[in-house]
Amino acid sequence: MGFQFQHREFIWMAGGIVLLLLLFIFLLRWKKKVNKRIGDPTLVKSLIGTYSNKKFVLKLVFLIIAFGLGVVAVMNLRRPAADETSQRKGIDVVIALDVSKSMLAQDLPPSRLERAKQFINKLMVAMPDDRIGLVVFAGRAYLQMPLTTDYGAAQLYISSAGPETVPLQGTVISEALHQSSNAFNTTERRFKTVVLISDGEDHDPETHIIPITLQAAAGKRPRVEIFGEDYPTPDGTCVRDYIHVIDLARAHIQALEALSEGSRIYNLGCGGAGYSVNEVVETARRVTGREIPTHVGPRRAGDPATLVASSDRIKTELGWQPQFQDLGLIIESAWRWMQNHPDGYDH
């Protein structure tokens, strides 16, 4: 079987050979012009008596050969195995590691982040034939280390990962998964695994209505801003749907179990027609037993009146059903968590 390049996308680098030839031609013409300006052939010959055209051309040849071999090395010329698909032992594993500040919490000593790093190191020991890559994420996601078999370098990247790696706080899991997917060889459909390590969402600043409302109930913000009350909804405020964290976790588990059958996209919601912003505030008042001040301001540009997800596909294909559809249960769980963690994940 013939040889083939593993990374054909770098073929454009071969254009550097043409550039070298053009520079060589330009240099020859420039030398001829300089010689003509001097005028006296005897003087020119005496000035460049030790110069050798053959050596100059030979240097160019060696330079082109070296550059060409470098391009071949980058493109990785190889002879593929005849039954590579059946004999391949290793897989490509991309670790998506949450490095938000909440991962510094010490409920899992020495901290969630250090415990995650320990797990990754143990994972590398257990997969000697695999390539590993690293994506770090918080409010943004970045490819920290491309796929490699150099586990020594991988350990250095992993040990240096921390909140300072990503300046924007938050938990953008979707972007982390997107970056992880882009790290793989797109020509292969198999032998790919993403390991996502996160402690969940932690927004800084907070943008979701339920935690914002509960922060107002806890006295951590003066009021709840309601952006518009003139929408075509029953009470004039925007309608959204919500999901309990346990139902969300169950959906992820069922989706992971079905991943071997191929990737799919599911929408998740608590079902029904959704709840308005005013309903969220009123329910939070009932659950917390506290007054929650509100202030009605103008609409925000781009806010739709109603935005409710359909969970029909995951219900049909995976049999998932939300167990905590009631808004009161969702807010009660969130309020209980906030009371147990008044300063959030950082403490």
Q: What is the rounded distance in angstroms from the CA atom of residue 133 to the CA atom of residue 119?
A: 15
Strands 306-307 vs 4-5: parallel, antiparallel or unpaired: unpaired
Q: In whole angstroms, what separates CA 322 from the centre of its chain?
A: 28
Structure tokens at 326: 């009631």
Q: What is the rounded distance in angstroms from the CA atom of residue 245 to the CA atom of residue 208?
A: 14
Structure tokens at 181: 């997917």
Nearest to 287 by CA among 341, 195, 217: 217
Q: Residue 322 carries which DSSP code?
A: -
Contact 320, 250 (CB under 8 A): yes
Residue type at 6 in one-letter notation: Q
Alpha helices (runs of H) in the chain, residue ranges in sequence order: 15-38, 41-47, 53-75, 84-87, 112-125, 151-160, 173-182, 209-217, 245-257, 277-288, 312-318, 327-340
Give the active site residue among 51, 151, 231, 266: 151
Residue type at 34 in one-letter notation: V
Catalytic, 242? Answer no
Residue type at 100 in one-letter notation: S
Measured N-to-C along each axis, helices 53-75 and 15-38 cross at an angle, to the nearest 10 degrees, of 160
First to last CA, the chain: 61
Q: Which residues are catalytic?
A: 151
